[in-house]
Amino acid sequence: MRKIFLTFTLFATSAFAASGSMAADIAAGKSRAAQCAACHGPDGHAVAPQTPNLAAQDEDYLAQQLKDFRSGARQNETMSVIAKPLSDMEIANLAAYFNSLK
């Protein structure tokens, strides 16, 4: 019985780690978003008409856009520089934070 439990635990842990589904941290995203406020507003509502609102945007969409800026697949002079040093976890946190805003 113990062997079955250990096997199940190992399988469940491996599946979780492989899925990459570590929960994003909204509070960490809020903290990291301080520099975003200059253009995208402190509440995710842009201050300039040509800048997109980020509040309540789809989390997966926001994460993909940041990853695309980071990789160079999407180009913007400002966003490419800002996204370049972001880790996958920081991107997930930012996306979760902006998604949580209304």
- The whole-number average pLDDT for the span 81-100 is 98
How much is the pTM? 0.79
- The whole-number average pLDDT for the span 91-98 is 98
Task: Indicate the pLDDT class of residue 7, thresholds 50, 70 and 90.
Answer: very low
Residue of higher predicted confidence among 12 and 36: 36
pLDDT, mean over the chain: 86
Q: 52-87 pLDDT, tens per residue?
A: 999 999 999 999 999 999 999 999 999 999 999 999
- The whole-number average pLDDT for the span 6-28 is 59
Please say whether the beta carbons of 101 and 44 come within 8 A.
Answer: yes
Token digits of residue 92: 């997930």
Nearest one of 27, 102, 24 to 66, comparing CA atoms: 24
Please say whether the beta carbons of 33 and 83 come within 8 A.
Answer: no
* Sign of the alpha-carbon dihedral angle for 89, 40, 26, 99: negative
- The whole-number average pLDDT for the span 41-52 is 95
